[in-house]
């Protein structure tokens, strides 16, 4: 047995254990980012080992004994780095929380690439429902959308590799640098699994799109809460006001989330300055509040469209507007993601993403695993779900227009 190698492994494992403990107890709340249906709060960008001594290493003795036994007895090559990554992922997997994961350098680079607004992939947001990787929504016009993937589709395997509830594994397998075909094994509505072939391409997203539906009805679709969405929304509102808008429909269907800062900014356009938008509470009962910064459309008749693809930051906005009765909600129940994760970067380029708190609507409701029930529940018709999308067949939008007109004409 190589003693120097063994000592190195012990020091690395010990350092990782300390970092995980630090992550669980001392995050600094900053901007919040969501993707694949998640909200993340940024901690310190780099984590340093601040302990001089390791006093509690004895309980991990068996871990090191197993490592040494593998080095001694395994009939094949053993790489300490591979063992280390496996040990780390074993620790996070043991928590049975699909949102708490370790990403190696390659996986973390892919994760950041997917959040950049332009990346190579198939254009699909995924999360976890009932311990399965589930489609939250395909990006409008993406290869995934063109291939017919739908919200609530369960991804069983990618290129024949089963993914279980592992979101990071799923996105890593789906992604790549080249325009190559990816085969997804899909289960839809509890039916028999089937394969869908999708060609990777460069995915670009435009988060805010607005137009007038008629003489006084404005419509703005927000597809994600990327950086700059609040400013884009304000520009669209001003443009539509200049065209005679008297009431507004905001469409959050299929919106998987984004920056908390942007969610607060969007909600602030309709909620008085200083009012609570959302708050988070961690395991130590530390509470952090996000309040309205004020906006340009307070008091405007408003309807919000949602569905089961509306997640995280979308639910922050929807929950706040609902609680203050600033909007009427139309559509179907939202995704139900009410917890916060913090990514912590390591010097080797990897990162730990760990659940650190729950978030609540202004009225104190945590919507995790429940979602938000709309004021008017409208299931999409078969015609509305047919491809390509035809606005004339959108029965949810028709209901939103009906509800908005009644508000305008009061």
**Does the annotation count 337 as an active-site position?**
yes
Q: How far apart are CA 81 and CA 70, in angstroms?
A: 13
Verify that 152 and 69 share a domain, yes or no. Answer: no
| pLDDT single digits (tens) 8-36 | 555 555 555 544 444 333 332 222 333 34
Domain holding 165: CATH number? 2.30.42.10
**Does the annotation count 59 as an active-site position?**
no
Verify that 193 and 220 share a domain, yes or no. Answer: no
137-161 burial, b at 16+ Cβ within 10 Å, e below that, comes to bbbeebbbbbbebbbbbbbbbbeee
pLDDT at 168 > cutoff 90: no
Chain mean pLDDT for the chain: 86
* β-pairing verdict for 201-204 and 208-212: unpaired
DSSP 258: B
pLDDT at 136 > cutoff 90: no
Q: How far apart are CA 24 and CA 283, in angstroms?
A: 9
pLDDT at 222 > cutoff 90: yes
The answer to whether the beta carbons of residues 395 and 381 sit under 8 Å apart is yes
Assigned domain for 349 exists = no
Degrees to nearest 5, angle at CA 212 with 209 and 215:
170
Verify that 329 and 231 share a domain, yes or no. Answer: yes
The answer to whether the beta carbons of residues 180 and 186 sit under 8 Å apart is no
- Looking at per-residue pLDDT, the higher value among 72 and 113 belongs to 72
Assigned domain for 213 exists = yes
Q: What is the predicted pLDDT for the residue at 410? A: 78
Task: Give the contacts of 399 (CB within 8 A, at least 6 positions apart).
Answer: 330, 376, 378
Q: How far apart are CA 384 and CA 251, in angstroms?
A: 15
Verify that 92 and 128 share a domain, yes or no. Answer: no
Assigned domain for 113 exists = no
Query: Can you tell me the mean pLDDT for 128-157?
Result: 91
Degrees to nearest 5, angle at CA 142 with 139 and 147:
110
Q: What is the predicted pLDDT for the residue at 30? A: 27
pLDDT at 49 > cutoff 70: no
Q: Which of 106, 128, 149 is the last residue of a domain?
A: 106
Q: Please tell me which residue in 137, 165, 268, 312 is annotated as part of the active site.
A: 312
| pLDDT single digits (tens) 290-349 | 999 999 999 999 999 999 999 999 999 999 999 999 999 999 999 999 998 888 899 889
| Phi–psi pair at 371, nearest 5 degrees | 75, -170
**Does the annotation count 275 as an active-site position?**
no
Q: Please tell me which residue in 36, 110, 150, 337 is annotated as part of the active site.
A: 337
Assigned domain for 35 exists = yes
Verify that 216 and 284 share a domain, yes or no. Answer: yes
Verify that 247 and 330 share a domain, yes or no. Answer: yes
Assigned domain for 112 exists = no
Verify that 335 and 220 share a domain, yes or no. Answer: yes
Residue 69, helix vs strand vs coil: helix
Assigned domain for 258 exists = yes
Q: Which of 61, 77, 106 is the last residue of a domain?
A: 106
Q: How many residues does the chain have?
A: 410
Q: How far apart are CA 92 and CA 325, in angstroms?
A: 40
Verify that 246 and 102 share a domain, yes or no. Answer: no
Query: Which of the four pLDDT bands, split at 50, 70 and 90, describes residue 6?
Result: low
The tokens of 123 are what? Answer: 């254009």
Verify that 169 and 305 share a domain, yes or no. Answer: no
Q: What is the predicted pLDDT for the residue at 334? A: 98
pTM of the complete model beyond 0.75: no
Q: How many structural domains are present in the chain?
A: 3
Helix 167-174 to helix 105-114 angle (10° resolution) is 80
Task: Give the contacts of 38 (CB within 8 A, at least 6 positions apart).
Answer: 99, 127, 257, 312, 337, 341
| pLDDT single digits (tens) 92-135 | 999 999 889 999 998 888 777 666 566 788 988 888 888 999 99
Q: What is the predicted pLDDT for the residue at 259? A: 83
pLDDT at 241 > cutoff 80: yes
Q: Which of 80, 106, 132 is the last residue of a domain?
A: 106
| pLDDT single digits (tens) 181-203 | 999 999 999 999 999 999 999 88
Assigned domain for 111 exists = no
The tokens of 58 are what? Answer: 């004895």
Q: What is the 3-state secondary structure (H, E, C) of 279-317?
A: EEEECCCCEEEEECCCCCCCCCCEEEEECCCCCCHHHHH
Verify that 288 and 363 share a domain, yes or no. Answer: yes
Domain holding 322: CATH number? 3.90.226.10
* Lowest-pLDDT choice from 57-66, 125-134, 279-288, 346-355: 57-66
- Looking at per-residue pLDDT, the higher value among 403 and 117 belongs to 403
Verify that 242 and 272 share a domain, yes or no. Answer: yes
pLDDT at 52 > cutoff 50: no
Q: Of the candidates 213, 326, 190, which has an alpha carbon nearest to the alpha carbon of residue 270?
A: 326
CB atoms closer than 10 angstroms to residue 80: 15
Q: Please tell me which residue in 323, 357, 394, 399 is annotated as part of the active site.
A: 323
Q: What is the predicted pLDDT for the residue at 219? A: 98
248, containing H or E segment: strand 247-251
Assigned domain for 387 exists = yes
Verify that 50 and 170 share a domain, yes or no. Answer: no
Residue ranges making up the domain that contains 62: 3-106
């Amino acid at each position: 047995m190589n003693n120097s190698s063994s000592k190195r492994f012990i020091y690395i494992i010990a350092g990782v254990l300390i970092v995980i403990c630090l992550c669980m107890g001392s995050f600094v709340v900053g901007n919040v980012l969501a993707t694949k249906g998640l909200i993340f709060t940024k901690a310190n960008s780099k984590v340093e080992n601040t302990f001089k001594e390791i006093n509690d290493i004895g309980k991990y003795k068996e871990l090191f004994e197993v490592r040494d036994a593998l080095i001694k007895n395994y009939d094949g090559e053993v790489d300490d780095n591979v063992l280390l990554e496996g040990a780390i992922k074993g620790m996070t997997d043991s928590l049975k929380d699909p949102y708490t994961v370790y990403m190696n350098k390659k996986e973390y680079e892919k994760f950041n690439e997917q959040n950049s607004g332009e990346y190579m992939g198939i254009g699909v947001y995924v999360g976890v429902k009932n311990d399965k990787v589930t489609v939250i929504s395909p990006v409008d016009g993406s290869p995934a959308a063109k291939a017919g993937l739908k919200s609530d589709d369960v991804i069983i395997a990618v290129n024949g590799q089963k993914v279980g509830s592992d979101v990071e594994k799923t996105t890593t397998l789906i992604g790549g640098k080249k325009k190559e075909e990816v085969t997804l094994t899909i289960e839809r509505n509890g039916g028999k699994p089937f394969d869908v072939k999708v060609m990777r391409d460069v995915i670009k997203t435009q988060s805010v799109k607005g137009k007038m539906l008629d003489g006084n009805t404005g419509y703005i679709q927000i597809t994600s809460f990327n950086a700059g969405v609040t400013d884009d929304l304000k520009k669209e509102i001003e443009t539509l006001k200049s065209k005679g808008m008297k009431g507004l429909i905001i469409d959050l269907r299929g919106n998987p989330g984004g920056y908390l800062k942007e969610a607060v900014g969007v909600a602030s356009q309709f909620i008085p300055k200083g009012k609570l938008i959302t708050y988070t509470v961690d395991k130590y009962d530390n509470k952090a509040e996000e309040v309205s910064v004020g906006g340009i459309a307070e008091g405007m008749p408003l309807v919000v469209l949602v569905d089961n693809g509306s997640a995280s930051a979308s639910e922050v906005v929807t929950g706040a507007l609902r609680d203050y009765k600033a909007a009427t909600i139309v559509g179907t129940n939202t995704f139900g993601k009410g917890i916060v994760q913090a990514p912590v970067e390591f010097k080797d380029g990897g990162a730990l993403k760990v659940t650190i708190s729950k978030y609540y609507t202004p009225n104190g409701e945590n919507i995790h695993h429940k979602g938000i029930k709309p004021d008017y529940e409208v299931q999409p018709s078969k015609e509305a779900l047919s491809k390509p999308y035809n606005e004339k067949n959108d029965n949810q939008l028709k209901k939103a227009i009906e509800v908005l007109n009644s508000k305008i004409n009061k």
